[in-house]
């Protein structure tokens, strides 16, 4: 169904007419077909096989709390019970992308919006809009990590302020690089924790092992100015040492947002002064 919602691109796949004013709707498990569950399981099995070598420990630990993810499209209420016990987060079902203000309000209340529909079988490797596999498999495991959970709430809380001063772009860059495409240095080597990486078979291997992309130590001021590609493998990744580093960075965000808004953006993949490269071992 095509629809038009203020603040969103035209022609999104979800049924926005069904959504409440906060863009949530009720997930109806009865609407998932056997083909939908099979699509989930195919994606799940492909990614699960890559996790021991490529995924962050916190992601694997979070996923281990959700053994029913192996069975098919998950019941979001059941996932919420697990998350609430771990970090106080819960999930809400939404028709797809939602406007910034609604998105930030949910994050600030420790609610993560999850698209309720799943991609078609011919879209296994690439889908334009995030679906339930990306949102639930990719994002949920890290929400069980306490420092990351605190970071994402703090991020949501700053959304309103960023919108007011016209600094949504640098804020979106922080989400893109550190929530969707973040890497972490662990004792066993470089691992991925970002949802955009770990919900994509190609990028899971590329981000952690390829010699091609630029990998830099996380630096907030650098990330806030760094533009990105939305439809290709990332040419630059940022590497953290632990999740507390992300939460700590939020303290400087109010001061840096207006400066980043006015600074020249760094093109995708470009080098910048002060970059500290992370070298593959
Ligand atoms: Fe995402």
Query: The pTM is what?
Result: 0.96
Q: Residue 18: helix, strand or coil by DSSP?
A: helix
The per-residue pLDDT for 105 is: 97
Q: Indicate whether 280 pLDDT > 90.
A: no
Q: Does 37 qualify as catalytic in the annotation?
A: no
- The pLDDT tens digits of the residues spanning 153-174 come to 999 999 999 999 999 999 999 9
pLDDT of residue 38 exceeding 90, the answer is yes
Q: How far is the CA of 97 from the centre of ligand 1 (A)?
A: 10
How do residues 180-191 score in pLDDT, each as one tens digit?
999 999 999 999
- Mean pLDDT within 18-38: 97
Of the chain, the percentage scoring pLDDT greater than 70 comes to 99
The answer to whether residue 1 scores a pLDDT higher than 70 is no
Mean pLDDT, the chain, rounded, equals 96
Q: Could you tell me the distance, in angstroms and rounded to a whole number, from the CA of residue 195 to the centre of ligand 1?
A: 6
| CATH number for the domain running over 16-262 | 1.10.800.10
What would the mean pLDDT of 137-158 be, rounded to a whole number?
Answer: 98
Average pLDDT over residues 51-80: 98
42 Cα: distance to centroid of ligand 1 (angstroms): 19
Q: Residue 161: which H helix or E strand, with range?
A: helix 146-164
Q: What is the pLDDT of residue 103?
A: 97
Q: From the centroid of its chain, how far is CA 231?
A: 15
pLDDT at 281: 65
> What's the pLDDT score for residue 5?
85
Q: Per-residue confidence at 6, pLDDT binned at 50, 70, 90? A: confident
What does the pLDDT read at residue 126? 87
What is the pLDDT averaged over residues 89-112? 97
DSSP code string of 208-276:
HH-SSSEEEE--HHHHHTB---SSS--SEEEEES-THHHHHHGGGHHHHHHHHHHSPPBPTT---TT--
Tell me, yes or no, if 116 is annotated catalytic.
no
**Residue-level pLDDT at 16:** 96
To the query of whether residue 139 is one of the catalytic residues in this protein, the response is yes
Q: Where are the domains of the chain?
A: 16-262
Whether 241 is a known active-site residue: answer no
Report whether 228 contacts 177 (CB < 8 A): yes
pLDDT at 225 over 60: yes
pLDDT, residue 215, reads 98
Q: What is the pLDDT of residue 2?
A: 54
Task: State in Å: Cα 177 to ligand 1 middle.
Answer: 11
Give the count of beta carbons closer than 10 Å to the beta carbon of residue 258: 15
Catalytic residue among 54, 106, 116, 139: 139
Q: What confidence tens digit (pLDDT) does each residue in 233-256 have?
A: 999 999 999 999 999 999 999 999
Average pLDDT over residues 135-152: 98
pLDDT computed for residue 4 by the predictor: 77
């Amino acid at each position: 169904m095509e629809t038009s919602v203020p603040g969103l691109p035209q022609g999104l796949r979800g049924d926005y007419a069904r959504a409440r004013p906060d863009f949530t709707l009720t997930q109806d498990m009865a609407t998932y077909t056997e083909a939908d569950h099979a699509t989930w399981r195919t994606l799940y099995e492909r990614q699960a096989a890559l996790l021991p070598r490529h995924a962050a420990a916190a992601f694997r630990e979070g996923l281990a709390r959700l053994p029913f993810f192996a069975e098919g499209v998950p019941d979001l209420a059941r996932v919420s019970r697990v998350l609430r016990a771990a970090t106080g987060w819960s999930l809400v079902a939404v028709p797809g992308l939602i406007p910034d203000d609604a998105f930030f309000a949910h994050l600030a209340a420790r609610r993560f919006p999850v698209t309720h529909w799943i991609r078609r079988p011919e879209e296994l490797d690439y889908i334009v809009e995030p679906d339930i596999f990306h949102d639930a498999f990719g994002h949920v495991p890290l929400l069980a990590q306490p420092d990351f959970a605190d970071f994402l709430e703090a991020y949501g809380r700053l959304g309103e302020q960023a919108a007011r001063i016209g600094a949504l772009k640098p804020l979106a860059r922080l989400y893109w690089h550190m929530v969707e495409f973040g890497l972490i240095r662990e004792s066993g080597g470089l691992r991925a924790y970002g949802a955009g990486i770990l919900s994509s078979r190609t990028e899971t291997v590329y981000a952690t092992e390829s010699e091609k992309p630029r990998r830099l130590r996380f630096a907030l001021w650098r990330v806030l100015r760094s533009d990105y590609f939305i439809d290709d493998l990332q040419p630059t990744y940022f590497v953290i040492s632990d999740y507390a580093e992300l939460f700590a960075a939020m303290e400087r965000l109010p001061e840096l947002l207006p400066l980043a808004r006015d600074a020249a953006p760094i093109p995708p993949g470009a080098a910048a002064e002060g970059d500290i490269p992370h070298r593959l071992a």
